[in-house]
Structure 1
Amino acid sequence: MIVTTKAIVLSALKYGDTSLIVKLFTESDGVKSYMLKGVLSSKKGKVKKGYFQPLTQLEVVANHKNKGTLESIREVKLTSSYKTLQTDVLKSSIALFLSEMLVVSLQEEEENKRLFEFISNSFSWLDDTDEVGNFHISFLVQLTSFLGFYPDDSYIDAAYFDLAEGVFVPSLYNEVMEGAGLMAFKKFLKCDYDEARLIKMGRGTRSELLNSLIRYYQLHLNDFKKPKSLEILQQVFG
């Protein structure tokens, strides 16, 4: 079936000397993987390797056979041209990290337009802003609402956040978030990016909170693997 759909690049892996295997989050069918034969050696085709940087927003004309095999792309064009996301060191580090988080978090081959719109709008916002320090934290918190494990804040004044149960608790049972990281975490709940960028945190607290969020994802998603780019992100943020 020939499908024309918006898509966001999640990853691109070199295959052989001339080809790429790319994973896209499509508006029409969720996560799909494609074989781009000869794209690394071709300069004249409609499908060019430059389109497949992490989080690039595209429109693709693709052949979806939906048989669990790699699909193919006939045509591709940009739908949103980033100004700074892939050239600014901080933003590109965030983009690489979050694209890896999306690869391990998004598994479904089914339409989810609300999630697609959230991801698309989020990275357009990041491209337009100068205050990026809290973006990845806010994004990961908001993403949990689409993945089915947004924190239950019924008892938000409790002293701990139970990572396994996803609730605030008064005493220790499982792995928890606590201290300065917990206080910062509470501020990110139910706030948008404009509000999140005003939250003040030291580097140590931001790192602690990020590590707790990654552990939270790990406890709630099957086959979750910690992103390799996490170390790079933490180095960039000092």
Structure 2
Amino acid sequence: MKSYKGRGIVLHTLKYGDSSLVVYLLTDVGGRRSYMVQGVRSRNGRGSKLALFQSMFPVEFEGLESPRQEMHRFKEVRAGFALREIPFDVRKSTMALFMAEVLYRLVRECEPNATLFGFVWNSVGALDAIERGVANFHLWFLAQMSRLLGFHPGNDYIPGSWFDIREGEYVSARPTHTLFLTQECSRLLDELLHSDVRRLEEIALTRAERTEFLNAMLVYLGYHLDAVSAVQSVRILKEVF
């Protein structure tokens, strides 16, 4: 087997057999990859390793690749950096669950994407450290993801405009079709695209406004990538925020 070192963010896990786990990671070395972890769920297995494979947890690892096996394996795996709040704060853990599911459904590439990986890795640290503005973090994350995935607005925002999802641009007149963001959601999209994550508390939104923008962004992302429309953690997220 060929060995290699890398970093990853946990996106999803599946139980396999009585004691094993399939772990899906966004990695710096190969985009999205799946890993077989054997014995991690058995009573006598490496129970401490199971705690590493939670949604959006960062890991560093030495992987093993074999041409005869479809999935990679870990020779060694450990925490990428210590998380102080995400595992214990229900708001942040709920948001991490949502972010991981969105990434799991959006990212299918098996090629390294340093810009995307760096953003996601740093976002985990930012979410863990942020003290104020937590309720807006997932909205900022979705806006930034649209930029990284290549379908952010193709022109500059003008106050009072609508964002036409089909055309990928802000327009001065309300579109005649239904695939557009309202004027308020369009303004918020532009604000979030240009906001520093450390200043999210300055964006004052009601729960209804957050829900409206979240729904609009899922339609926007779903127009380009159908899989995002099936995100299950949205319901939990709306209950918390």
Q: Please give the TM-score of this superposition, normalised by the length of structure 2.
A: 0.91
**C-alpha deviation, 1:229, in angstroms:** 0.6
Question: Aligned partners of 1:150 and 1:181: how far apart in 2?
Answer: 14
Question: Aligned partners of 2:208 and 2:70: how far apart in 1?
Answer: 44
- Shift in CA distance, 66/30, structure 1 to aligned 2, threshold 3 Å: farther
Question: Aligned partners of 2:145 and 2:34: how far apart in 1?
Answer: 21
Structure 2 residue aligned with 1:24: 25
Matches within 5 A, 1:119-138: 119-131=120-132, 132-138=134-140
Structure 2 residue aligned with 1:89: 90
Question: Aligned partners of 1:16 and 1:215: how far apart in 2?
Answer: 36
**C-alpha deviation, 1:43, in angstroms:** 4.6
- Shift in CA distance, 180/16, structure 1 to aligned 2, threshold 3 Å: same
Q: Deviations over 1:115-160 (max 9, x none)?
A: 1111111110111112201110111111112211112233533531
- Structure 2 spans left out of the alignment, 5+ residues: none
Paired residue for 2:176, among 157, 173, 176? 173
- Shift in CA distance, 65/110, structure 1 to aligned 2, threshold 3 Å: farther
8 Å contact from structure 1 (residues 7, 24) kept in 2:
yes
CA RMSD of superposed structures (Å):
2.0
Q: Please give the TM-score of this superposition, normalised by the length of structure 1.
A: 0.92
Structure 2 residue aligned with 1:200: 204
Runs of 4+ in 1 over 4 A off after TM superposition: 42-47
Question: Aligned partners of 1:22 and 1:227: how far apart in 2?
Answer: 18
Structure 1 residue aligned with 2:7: 6
Structure 2 residue aligned with 1:152: 154
8 Å contact from structure 1 (residues 46, 75) kept in 2:
no
Question: Aligned partners of 1:42 and 1:27: how far apart in 2?
Answer: 32
**C-alpha deviation, 1:181, in angstroms:** 2.6
* Secondary structure in 1 matching 2:41: coil
Q: Identity of paired residues, percent?
A: 33
